[in-house]
Amino acid sequence: MPTPPGPSLHRSRSPLADPRWQRARLDEVDLAGGRGDVTESHGDFAAAAEAALGAPLSATGIEILQLNLGRRCNLACVHCHVDAGPDRKEDMSRATAERCLEVMEASGAGVVDITGGAPEMSDQFEFLVRGARAAGRHVIDRCNLSILLTRPYAHLVDFLAEHQVEVVASLPHYRKLSTDRQRGDGVFDDSIVALRRLNERGYGRDPKLRLVLVTNPVGAFLPAGQASLEVEWKRELKRAYDIDFDALFTITNMPISRYLEWLETKCQTEAYLRKLVDAFNPASVDGVMCRNTLSVGWDGRLFDCDFNQMLEIGLTGGVPGHIDEFELEPLARRRVATGRHCFGCTAGAGSSCGGATT
């Protein structure tokens, strides 16, 4: 049996629950003397991105509408950038979900990317999947796997398959110890059971039912190469558990929320931020997800990405900041609001919700 998840930062009233505290903590790190000086960014992401692109970082369109349905989750992982957990209550309302479907039409976005928390726990999850699929959109469910074993949600394996929803499932590692260290005792075993159920239903085997796994480092380091890790993961999960999946995404841990708390307890915040800045890869800037994605919060507020959403860095440049005020042209060409956390998207091979960007 999995051990019960611990409290969120929000519940434990940690100062780190406050996004302003998180932003200030990253801004106060002294980055002089590292490669940040060599690139002349000095930890200024906007300057580094502008130098790489030859223009300020801006959106190029809205191809993906990413909906964050709330903070509820059955787990409370150590690295969670959302500070989600069973003690969180935030959830999207039906009125906001209806508006999301209207904006999906108005924006022309071809992909609806649903995240949370565990988005399946939202009262709007099935409504949004049905609405987006009926309108012919590609739908992604960012799933933590273990939720699919929880009684009220066990029907979702069939539901997802019937609607041909792409499942992008997070699994820190193919080894039990590393996964349970990040997610809680017993979570790895549950994840394997869930993956087997998805495979039995056709996920990872039927080309119409795409199953992607997402891994992030279990520690203060950058992900290894995505292509070589995918080969290793496919081999190991097949050999040990007869599990199939289509692709592996590697994602860099962002120094925010509970991962920032973890860095703070290990006295690793300075070293990790410096690592991200020193690994800045100009070639990765073109592929950062804020360029083609618009992020919607559970309360309808708009953001450049899910990370900015958690840090409460709203849209800049006077563009509409709430889904009720949606206007395509200014939002599709908006200037992106950035901060030091953005170096997490451009370190090494780059990192996005779609994995490495180079």
Residues at the interface with ligand SF4 (CB under 6 A): 73, 75-77, 80, 82, 84-85, 116-118, 144, 170, 288-290, 304-305, 307-308, 336, 338, 341-342, 345
Is the CB of 96 or the CB of 284 nearer to ligand SF4?
284
User: Residues 61, 55, 28, 217: what is their CA dihedral angle, to the nearest 10 degrees?
Assistant: 50
Length of the chain in terms of residues written: 358
Is the CB of 44 or the CB of 101 nearer to ligand SF4?
44
Whole-number minimum distance, CB 134 to ligand SF4, in Å? 27
Is the CB of 288 or the CB of 331 nearer to ligand SF4?
288
* Beta strands 293-296; 302-303: pairing state: antiparallel
- CA 231 – CA 304 distance, rounded (Å): 32
- CA 51 – CA 103 distance, rounded (Å): 33
Longest alpha-carbon distance in the chain = 55
Whole-number minimum distance, CB 4 to ligand SF4, in Å? 13
Neighbours of 268 (CB within 10 A): 16
Is the CB of 157 or the CB of 311 nearer to ligand SF4?
311
Whole-number minimum distance, CB 77 to ligand SF4, in Å? 3
Whole-number minimum distance, CB 136 to ligand SF4, in Å? 26
- CA 231 – CA 240 distance, rounded (Å): 14
Is the CB of 82 or the CB of 319 nearer to ligand SF4?
82
- CA 200 – CA 146 distance, rounded (Å): 16
Element (H, E) at 166: strand 166-170
Token reading at 321? 């900041």
Whole-number minimum distance, CB 344 to ligand SF4, in Å? 7
Is the CB of 9 or the CB of 132 nearer to ligand SF4?
9
**C-beta of residue 341 within 8 angstroms of C-beta of residue 255:** yes
Whole-number minimum distance, CB 231 to ligand SF4, in Å? 25
